[in-house]
Amino acid sequence: MKLYPLFADLSHRAVLVVGGGAVAERKVAALLGAQAQVTVNAPTLTPQLRRWVGEGRVAHRADAFQEGWLDRVWLVVAATSDREMNTLVATLAGLRRIFVNVVDDAALSSFHVPAVVDRAPLMIAISSGGEAPMLARLLRERLETLLDHSLGALATLAARLRHRIRARLPDMAVRRQFYETLFTGQVATLLRRGQPKQALHAAEQALASVPSAPTGAVVLVGAGPGDPGLLTLRALRALNEADVILHDRLVSAEVLELARRDAERIEVGKQAGNHHTTQDGIHALLLEHARAGRRVVRLKGGDPFVFGRGGEELEFLRAHGIPYEVVPGITAAVACAAYAGIPLTHREHAQSVRFVTAHCRSSLDTLDWVALARERQTLAVYMGVGELAALQARLIEHGRAATTPFALIENGSRAGQRVVTGTLANLHERASAHAVASPALLILGEVAALAQSLAWFGQPPLGATVHDIRRVAANRRHVILPPAPADLLSAIHRG
């Protein structure tokens, strides 16, 4: 069941609570917090409820529940320990289309009361739709510790300055930037320290000195290989501050999901042989948005400076006087190696690692094959899926042993990660047999053999023996996609 969340304004609105015990008392306390006009219907009340009645904050009806009372209330809470009574109240409320909450009975309730993190006027409500209340509660506890109590004061301060901020900074983008510095900078710190006067003063000063015209800039951000957990904190911040995001096709949906909701997302995907947007087109877009005063995030898979043409984009920005920053990302070679259990260097097997790209025949011609074929080094080959046959032939031709192990990692760090292993002699054959497709990265070198024993993420490597698979299964702690017996069998057949 998926519920529709809403926050109700109950101030000076009549609400009926049926029941006078401890649970009813909790409900009444929350309702009084929202300034509702509460009537409690129960023969006896808890001492606290009696006190509230005595103070005139709550009305009390000790007589038997009467259907007609429902006609003058906005909401009803049934909090008796008598299930029949609760059912009756819920049914009668339903007939009148009045929202009713039956305590601890999701099925009878037409509204649920969420777990709340209260930083009034800021409220965070958490609901599991009645399915997993313990989880909702746990989440609330986490949020309670995460969110400072001064947040409420921050919201109040922002409300107080809102009209002045609007008048001083009519441009939306500038206003948003100002609010962000307000919420994360010195003003927030002063409030955390319990100095509201100084905080207000600092906010007023900031408002007086902020330039009212927008200043555009570009942040070149590495999005990593796909798993959003591999983003840097800086990348996350840039994504949260962006007005426009120009992203490659390679950037995962999960990463884009973390960006500011109303940031404009433009895919400028480039695929081998199928360039949606030319590099010149990307440059033009960067310029256009930055000159309009927007904060542009140029989001690239992996690291922007590793086979990402990030350098060319910076040169262009520099030539046009657009300010920029660069946030590095985890490049595919590093991520794929980690997620396949392959150390790129190893004291016994590899003293160096080379990042190579092999995206087309002509790029292969420019490579130094003698150097690449040397032993005791690891090759990490980007964009090479189409050129594996040529790669295999040239490396063997230049003296690399045909028995050198390889691992091809497809969709590294993502839910569908596949690792195909073998030796240089059967590289092309095994890749075609398993129809390895882009994005995939080739790791070639003695270290690649370690995937058999050190793999920990996703399915076991294809190419492993039954014995290897058992050993990997026994070792793994962190199972993202636990291999079902059927998968294991098919992996053995395929491998």
372 binds ligand SAH (CB under 6 A): no
Report residue 2 CA to chain centroid gap.
Answer: 21
Query: In this structure, what are the phi and psi dihedrals at residue 142, rounded to the nearest 5 degrees?
Result: -60, -45
Least gap, CB of 210 to ligand SAH (angstroms): 36
Closest of 439, 380, 443 to residue 408, by C-alpha: 443
Does the protein bind ligand SAH through residue 439 (CB under 6 A)? yes
Q: What is the DSSP string of 347-395?
A: TTTBSEEEEEE--SHHHHHTS-HHHHT-SSEEEEEES-GGGHHHHHHHH
How far is the C-alpha of 196 from the C-alpha of 151, rounded, in Å? 12
Rounded Cα gap, residues 412 and 398, in angstroms: 29
Q: Which of 119, 283, 300, 476 binds ligand SAH (CB under 6 A)?
A: 300
Cα distance between the two ends of the chain: 42
Q: How far is the CB of 409 from ligand SAH (least distance, A)?
A: 5
List the one residue out of 193, 454, 227 whose CA is nearest residue 332. 227
Q: Is 495 in the site for ligand SAH (CB under 6 A)?
A: no
Give the DSSP H or E segment for 421.
strand 418-423
Residue 382 in the binding site for ligand SAH (CB under 6 A) = yes
- Of 412, 460, 463, 495, the one binding ligand SAH (CB under 6 A) is 412
Q: Are strands 352-357 and 324-327 parallel, antiparallel or unpaired?
A: unpaired
Among 161, 336, 342, 373, binds ligand SAH (CB under 6 A): 336
Minimal distance, residue 354 CB to ligand SAH, in Å: 14
Count CB-CB contacts under 10 A for residue 384: 25
Pair of tokens at residue 120: 């009034």
Applying CB under 6 A, does 458 fall inside the site for ligand SAH?
no
Q: Is residue 460 part of the contact set for ligand SAH (CB under 6 A)?
A: no
Q: Between 13 and 309, whose beta carbon lies closer to ligand SAH?
A: 309
Q: Give the C-alpha separation, 33 to 10, whole Å.
A: 10
443 binds ligand SAH (CB under 6 A): no
User: Does 441 engage in binding with ligand SAH (CB under 6 A)?
Assistant: yes
**Is residue 413 part of the contact set for ligand SAH (CB under 6 A)?**
yes
Element holding 49 (H helix, E strand): helix 47-54
Interface stretch with ligand SAH, choices 58-66, 99-107, 146-154, 408-416 (CB under 6 A): 408-416
Count Cα atoms within 13 angstroms, Cβ side, for 447. 25
Block residue for tokens 């009549």: 14
* DSSP per residue, 131-181: S-HHHHHHHHHHHHHHS-TTHHHHHHHHHHHHHHHHHH--SHHHHHHHHHH
Binder of ligand SAH out of 144, 438, 449, 488 (CB under 6 A): 438
Q: What is the DSSP string of 67-80?
A: GGGGGG-SEEEE--
**Catalytic pick among 243, 248, 303, 468:** 248
Strand order in the sheet with 324-327: 264-267, 244-247, 295-300, 217-222, 324-327
Stretch that binds ligand SAH, among 55-63, 294-302, 368-376, 459-467 (CB under 6 A): 294-302
Give the footprint of ligand SAH on residues 4-43 (CB under 6 A). none
Active site residue 27: no
Site stretch for ligand SAH (CB under 6 A), options 55-63, 289-297, 303-311, 458-466:
303-311
In the bound state with ligand SAH, the residue whose beta carbon lies nearer, of 126 and 220, is: 220
Site string for ligand SAH, 190-229 (x = CB under 6 A): -----------------------------------xx---
Q: Please state the closest distance from residue 148 (CB atom) to ligand SAH, in A.
A: 37
Pairing mode, strands 115-119 and 122-126? antiparallel
Among 302, 445, 461, 483, binds ligand SAH (CB under 6 A): 302
d(CA 417, CA 481): 10
Site for ligand SAH (CB under 6 A): how many residues? 24
Is the CB of residue 387 less than 8 Å from the CB of residue 364? Answer: yes
Q: Of 178-186, 259-267, 297-305, 370-378, which part binds ligand SAH (CB under 6 A)?
A: 297-305
- Asked if 40 contacts 49 with a C-beta cutoff of 8 angstroms, the reply is yes
Q: How far is the CB of 368 from ligand SAH (least distance, A)?
A: 20
Minimum Å gap between C-beta 310 and ligand SAH is 8
Please choose, out of 149-157, 330-338, 346-354, 469-477, the segment that lies near ligand SAH by the rule CB under 6 A: 330-338
The stretch among 36-44, 144-152, 301-309, 470-478 that binds ligand SAH (CB under 6 A) is 301-309
Identify the residue among 177, 411, 421, 423 touching ligand SAH (CB under 6 A).
411
Between 19 and 301, name the residue whose CB sits nearer to ligand SAH. Answer: 301
Contact region with ligand SAH (CB under 6 A), list: 50-58, 76-84, 296-304, 459-467: 296-304
Please pick, from the candidates 128, 188, 297, 307, the single residue that binds ligand SAH as defined by CB under 6 A: 307
Task: Count the neighbouring beta carbons within 10 Å of the beta carbon of residue 12.
Answer: 8
Coil, helix or strand at residue 482: coil
Q: Which single residue brings its beta carbon nearest to ligand SAH? A: 302
Please pick, from the candidates 19, 214, 216, 301, the single residue that binds ligand SAH as defined by CB under 6 A.
301
List, by residue number, the catalytic residues.
248, 270
Under the rule (CB under 6 A), what is the footprint of ligand SAH? Answer: 225-226, 250, 300-303, 306-308, 331-332, 336, 382-383, 409, 411-414, 438-441
